[in-house]
Amino acid sequence: MPTSSDCAPGVDNGGKHSVDVTYPRQAEATGRVTVETHHNVTSEARTADGRWEVAVDRTDDTGRVVEQKSTRAPAARHPRVQGARRPH
């Protein structure tokens, strides 16, 4: 049976593959990513050297911002993107 994302919420046939349960799990499995709760990305920008700069607000349980952080990460390469090399 083919799957489609054009369906009602709650369909459990695998057709929707919600981002909140696929990409974070795959990213953590690489060992190069930590997914943290209470962190909201407020901006992202590509730097001149190709890296990503990400600004994040860390919040408490009420949603109040308790810390503002910024981090830089190497440019992401996805193995399915044409021309990208697979990691060794």
Question: H-helix or E-strand containing 52?
Answer: strand 52-59
At residue 15, does pLDDT exceed 80?
A: no
In tens, the pLDDT along 40-59 reads 999 999 998 888 899 999 99
- Helix (H, G, I), strand (E, B), or coil: what is residue 10? coil
**Taking residues 73-88, what's their average pLDDT?**
55
Neighbours of 56 (CB within 10 A): 18
Per-residue model confidence as pLDDT tens digits over 54-71:
999 999 999 999 999 998
Residue among 58, 76, 75 nearest 67 (CA):
58
